[in-house]
Amino acid sequence: MACWEDLSDWYDKKQGESGDLWHRALIDPVLQILVGDCRGKEILDLGCGNGYLARRFAREGARVTAVDSSLRMIKNAQAHDPGNTLKISYIHSDANRLDMIPDASFDLVFANMSLMDIEDAEGAVREVSRVLKGGGGRFVASISHPCFDNGSNSGWVIEKVAFEPRRVYRKIRAYRKPFSEDIPWRIEKNVRKFTQSFHRPLSWYARILSSNGLVITKLEEPEPTEEFLEKEEDSSGFIEVPLHLVFEAIKL
């Protein structure tokens, strides 16, 4: 998407080599557990961004292919390992058109916080299923939690009652129907740029996975780590309400 293309230099700095606070201390620890031991495995990183996870899994011994629709993201990812010592194959492509990859190529496909940014996510899941090996190939993805985070239609509500501890609620509306929205990112103090994101209800994900032969086997809702609670301003709501979902689905 052009919007991620515009943001790719900023996003590269933000994620660096270990992920920003939200990735490092909230989402990635759960994704990493679901990915598990990847030594000797063929892995596809779908919507790889600056590729820090692709590089992590390559260092852990996986053979990694990384796809992104932003050419600038791919170039920035490659610049982290100029001699390509990690032997990562980068592909500049839409996730829903992976014609250059043969069927049944991968043991694992993972998509970290990219599926809800992919316009044709149904086409992407179809491709994930096609390129996964049957009989146990795994798809692991993290997404914004469809039930608790659908952009500007959701938010925290803080209730202060005299002599009572304050209560934090999560409000949400417009859940049932898919919609797209421009998501603001503050890239400098007074500069905002936008990327497009696509809300789909939870049942949509379950339907699309199962209709492509992928059976959900794990579903996790990342809890904030101590680092996250310490460093993220006003993070108390996260203790009770998850804003992310991480799942594993297996190709039978």
Q: What are the residues binding ligand SAM (CB under 6 A)?
A: 1, 4, 15, 23, 47-49, 67-70, 73, 94-95, 112-114, 117-119
- Under a CB-based contact definition with an 8 Å cutoff, are residues 144 and 205 in contact? no
> What DSSP element (H or E) covers 128?
helix 121-131
Supply the minimum distance, in Å, between the C-beta of residue 165 and ligand SAM: 34
Report the chain's terminal Cα–Cα distance, integer Å: 32
Nearer to ligand SAM, 47 or 151 (CB): 47
CB of 35 or CB of 160, closer to ligand SAM: 35
**Least distance to ligand SAM, CB of residue 193, Å:** 13
**Strand 137-144 relative to strand 244-251, pairing:** antiparallel
Q: Between 73 and 250, name the residue whose CB sits nearer to ligand SAM.
A: 73
Backbone angles phi, psi at 124, to 5 degrees: -65, -40
Q: Take residue 180 and report the two structure tokens written for it.
A: 């797209």
Q: In angstroms, give the least distance from the CB of 154 to ligand SAM.
A: 18
Which is closer to ligand SAM, CB of 48 or CB of 131? 48
Q: Smallest gap, in angstroms, from Cβ of residue 214 to ligand SAM?
A: 18
- 3-state SS, residue 209: helix
CA distance 136 to 124: 19
Pairing outcome for strands 191-199 and 179-188? antiparallel
Least CB distance to ligand SAM at residue 88 (A): 14
Place of tokens 């053979």: 63
Q: Which is nearer to ligand SAM, 47 or 222 (CB)?
A: 47
